[in-house]
């Protein structure tokens, strides 16, 4: 018995080492559980690192008071629109790169990568300029109280002004994920977060030779960290031993490929814009209930993201496997990878839900000392966690559609579950039925669970298997 356990742990350690290093793995043949493991581990860690950006800001900014936390929450709500566009482009990038790699067309994958980066720059630069000059008006549009708008204007300007770094960080990591080399994407976010971890407290509180910039310091540290992460990514794309190698011959604009990327990304962008517009509406519904409710909601969402983003990373593994196996002409293997990944994601998020329900107050207390904000945050964390088992499957099947290049189906699912269901339900529960912020929290749980059920039913129909990109 002891010898068999030793062999098992030896195999697990070997798999972990293999997953954490770059390599020329073929995910269209061999053991499917092994393929899911090799892709999931670095993707989960990558998304965990992405969540650290928000958690660090919330942790340090929480020491500045509820108004500062509320400013971060409103800025993050605005930033979700940028995330929507960046993620939409990322989905199309992952799908096209994975399909080309599955077909054995590595030059085509490199050309697609260059077009994706070019699109990211073209779209993000105007967004960054607008964010720099209109941050105060954007916060006012979100209904920010005067103190929150005054203290948060510079923070919002730095965060929104760093939109190009956000776009490229998402897009280039999407290239690595589509190529089946997620360990590089993981390391780029490690580098970015290391810079952020050092700069955040130094710039917020004025440690050592750094000036005390308060809330603005948090934004500067985050933006600089993201920029350093992008530089690491660009360097990795030039290395000759990667699955995707961008050479001088690939550095040209290909209008046909760019248009195909744009056309495919429209569904993804619409998909996330619908979802994020719903989140903006929820923030707007919460705002009249005061800074404490908004701060508690912001903190709870940051904690939730710690679990959701790693689970999203596991879902990204399904997208890569679907894209590459469809490119290799193996749709049945693509489908099996989705069911296996969904099962693993369900176990992961189910365990997280238990922790969040049992330890909601201690977790929220790490980010605020305000009793009212603590009460709202703990309730939000518990209520939303009750639907985690459903969320796990919803994320995986949505990413499976996206990995197959079918971004239209999830867009319609989002439209129905968020705009036609979640927003009216949140308003009704919060205002008409007078449940206040608790009604908003409950609406999130119900609508996200509905999305998972609808997504699974549509996925079982199998139309995604014949999608050409």
Q: Is residue 71 part of a domain?
A: yes
Residue 11 lies in a domain: no
Predicted pLDDT at 5: 52
Question: Which residue, chain included where needed, has tokens 């018995």?
Answer: 1
Domain count, the chain: 1
The count of other CB atoms within 10 Å of the CB of residue 3 is 7
**Does the residue 107 lie in any domain?**
yes
At 258, is the secondary structure helix, strand, or coil?
Answer: helix
Given a cut of 70, is residue 208 above it in pLDDT? yes
Cα separation of the two ends of the chain: 50
Candidates 45, 59, 132; CA nearest to 298 is 59
Q: How many CA atoms lie within 13 A of 135 on its CB side?
A: 29
CB contact at 8 A, 449 and 387: yes
Question: What's residue 57's pLDDT?
Answer: 65
Predicted confidence at residue 18, as pLDDT, reads 66
Tally of residues, the chain = 469
Question: Tens of pLDDT along 375-432?
Answer: 999 999 999 999 998 999 999 999 999 999 898 899 999 999 999 999 999 999 998 8
pLDDT value at residue 302 = 79
Q: Dig out the tokens for 241 from the structure.
A: 């031993």
Phi, psi of 209 (to 5 degrees): -80, 0
What is the distance between the alpha carbons of residues 427 and 279, in angstroms, rounded to a whole number? 13
The pLDDT of residue 80 is above 80: no
Q: Is residue 290 part of a domain?
A: yes
The reply to whether 10 falls in a domain is no
The predicted structure's pLDDT at residue 50:
66
19 part of a folded domain: no
- Give the range of the structural domain holding residue 235, as residue numbers without chain letter: 30-466
In 162-288, alpha helices (H): 163-179, 182-205, 215-237, 255-286
* pLDDT, tens digit (0-9, with 9 covering 90-100), for 429-446: 998 898 989 999 999 999
**453 within some domain:** yes
b/e map of 313-346 (b: 16 or more CB within 10 Å)? Answer: bbbbbbbbbbbbbbbbebbebbbbbbbbbbebbb
Longest dimension (CA), the chain: 67
Query: Is 23 a member of any domain?
Result: no
| pLDDT interval class at 237 (50, 70, 90) | confident
């Amino acid at each position: 018995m002891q010898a068999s356990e030793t062999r098992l742990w030896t195999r697990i350690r070997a798999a972990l080492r293999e997953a954490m290093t770059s390599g020329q793995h073929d995910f269209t043949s061999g053991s499917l559980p092994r393929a899911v493991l090799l892709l999931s581990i670095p993707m989960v860690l990558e998304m965990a690192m992405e969540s650290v950006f928000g958690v660090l800001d919330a942790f340090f900014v929480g020491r500045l008071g509820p108004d500062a936390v509320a400013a971060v929450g409103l800025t993050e709500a605005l930033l979700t629109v940028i995330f929507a566009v960046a993620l939409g482009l990322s989905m199309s990038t992952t799908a096209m790169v994975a399909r080309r790699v599955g077909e054995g067309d590595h030059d085509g994958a490199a050309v697609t990568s260059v077009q994706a980066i070019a699109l990211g720059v073209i779209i993000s630069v105007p967004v960054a300029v607008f964010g720099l000059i209109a941050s105060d008006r954007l916060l006012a549009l979100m209904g920010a109280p005067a103190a929150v708008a005054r203290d948060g204007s510079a923070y919002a300007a730095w965060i929104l002004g760093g939109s190009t770094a956000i776009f490229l960080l998402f897009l280039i990591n999407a290239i690595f994920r589509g190529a089946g080399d997620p360990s590089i994407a993981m390391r780029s976010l490690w580098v970015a977060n290391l810079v952020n971890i050092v700069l955040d407290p130094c710039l917020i509180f004025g440690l050592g030779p750094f000036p005390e910039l308060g809330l603005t310091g948090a934004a500067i540290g985050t933006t600089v960290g993201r920029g350093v992460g992008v530089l690491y990514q660009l360097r990795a794309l030039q290395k000759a031993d990667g699955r995707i190698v961008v050479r001088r011959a690939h550095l040209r604009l290909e209008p046909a490929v760019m248009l195909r990327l744009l056309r495919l990304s429209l569904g993804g962008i619409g998909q996330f814009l619908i979802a994020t517009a719903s989140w903006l509406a929820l923030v707007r519904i919460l705002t009249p209930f005061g800074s404490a409710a908004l701060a508690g909601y912001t903190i709870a969402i940051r904690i939730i993201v710690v679990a959701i983003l790693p689970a999203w990373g596991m879902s990204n593994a399904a997208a890569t496997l679907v894209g590459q196996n469809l490119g290799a002409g193996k749709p049945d293997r693509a489908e099996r990878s989705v069911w296996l990944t969904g099962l693993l994601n369900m176990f992961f998020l189910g365990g997280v839900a238990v922790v969040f329900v049992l330890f909601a107050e201690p977790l929220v207390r790490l980010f605020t000392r305000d009793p009212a904000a603590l009460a709202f945050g703990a309730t939000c964390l518990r209520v939303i966690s009750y639907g985690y088992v459903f969320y796990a499957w919803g994320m995986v099947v949505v990413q499976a559609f996206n990995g197959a290049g079918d971004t239209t189906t999830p867009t319609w699912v989002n439209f129905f579950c968020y705009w036609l269901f979640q927003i009216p339900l949140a308003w009704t529960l919060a205002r008409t039925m007078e449940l206040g912020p608790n009604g908003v929290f409950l609406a999130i749980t119900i609508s996200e669970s509905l999305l998972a059920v609808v997504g699974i039913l549509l996925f079982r129909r199998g139309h995604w298997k014949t999608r050409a990109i």
